[in-house]
Amino acid sequence: MKRYKHKAFVFALIFLSNAAFTLAQEAKTTGAFGDPIRVNVDRVTVGVTVAGTHGNLIKSLRREDFRVYDNGVAQEVTGFSPIEEPAQVVLLMETGPAAVFIRPGALRAAEAFLRSISATDRVAIVSYSKTPNLELDFTADKSKVREALGSLNFLNGYSQLNLVSSVLSTLDWLSSLPGKKTIVLVSTGLNDSIPTNWQLVQQKLEISDVQILAVSTAGPIRDPVKQKNLSPDERDDRKYVREGFVEADQLLHQLAEATGGRAYFPKNAKEFNDAYDEIAQFVRNEYRLEFVPRSSDGQLHSLKVKVRSHWYHVNFRQAYLAPAS
């Protein structure tokens, strides 16, 4: 059986066949891994969000409700502040080969997000297929954001979807920006940029102070339209698609959870709206905890944050790179 080089190309062909069946009946953001971000001050800051059992944010916690662990060793929380400030959000939008099919859903998803956030929140737009491109720099003017979204060309994408490298490049761009930063990743999760060393990718995600909230747009297309009398090659390709979406979902989970974020897999308009209502709260609210690093060994240190109630779900970055003595 003929096997295609890129999964995205296979998916695009199958989406085209589904559509036919239904009718019948680069400014560029670039950068490699770069040097990991190091703590060059005498305190480590950890942004933390805490949610209840129904996804509602818990906003009434105090310093004594938190425990912070550095490589498993409890630390004294020397600084504490509950923060509710304007968000700085990058909408990272997939515009690849199958985007002609997901464009309506992707734009509805982005519009739902804009309706959910505050008028003072600042939004930037980055599109990606083969490479990431800055479509709109940070602005609080939502009319400009809507105009930029409406002008996105989903047909200029490449057959190559470099999701991981695009995320890393966007993290590089945001690394020098102060304040709370969030990437809202609107994507199928399909990826052709296979890192040679996933451990380096994982490390960069874990030490970043940027939270990734991933929203899958693959819901309407992950189950192709059923057709009778498929050839063995066609059945095999459809199995390949299903397996590809399993991998895509796993990747979205990995990217989000490594940064203390979440991944959402909405299947309809209501679930999109519910997801973005929750995201709008996450991008604005957090607790900031500080502690003095226990050593200056230049090594990667794991972070763990706990709260007194075991019923709460705590989101935080997973690691920091200690300063070298």
Domain boundaries, given as residue ranges, for the chain: 7-30+86-282, 44-84+284-321
CA distance 240 to 238: 5
**In sequence order, what DSSP letters do the residues of 288-300 get, joined into one string?**
EEEE--S--B--E
Tell me how crowded residue 47 is: count the other CB atoms within 10 A of its CB: 20
Three-state DSSP state, 67: strand
Q: Specify burial of residue 257 (Cβ count, 10 A radius: 0-12, 13-18, 19+).
A: middle
Q: Residue 230: phi, psi to the nearest 5? A: -75, 145
Which structure tokens are listed for 214? Answer: 């991933």
Range 7-30+86-282: architecture per CATH: 3-Layer(aba) Sandwich (3.40)
pTM flag (> 0.85) = no
pLDDT of residue 241: 64
The secondary element (H helix, E strand) that includes residue 283 is none
pLDDT of residue 222: 62
Give the pairing type, strands 262-264 and 210-216.
Answer: parallel
pLDDT of residue 17: 37
pLDDT of residue 74: 94
Give the bridge partners for 82, in sequence order: 287
Those residues whose C-beta lies under 8 Å from the C-beta of residue 294, and which sit 6 or more positions away, are 70, 71, 73, 75
pLDDT by residue for the chain (325 residues), tens only, comes to 334 344 444 444 344 333 333 323 333 333 433 444 444 457 888 888 888 877 778 888 999 999 999 999 999 999 998 877 788 999 999 887 666 666 776 777 777 788 888 888 899 999 998 889 999 999 999 999 999 988 887 766 556 789 999 999 999 999 888 878 899 998 889 888 777 788 888 888 988 889 999 999 887 666 555 555 666 665 655 665 667 788 899 999 999 998 988 899 988 778 888 888 888 877 777 888 999 988 888 888 999 999 988 888 888 888 888 888 7
pLDDT of residue 220: 61
Three-state DSSP state, 36: coil
**Looking at this protein, which amino acid is placed at residue 47?**
G
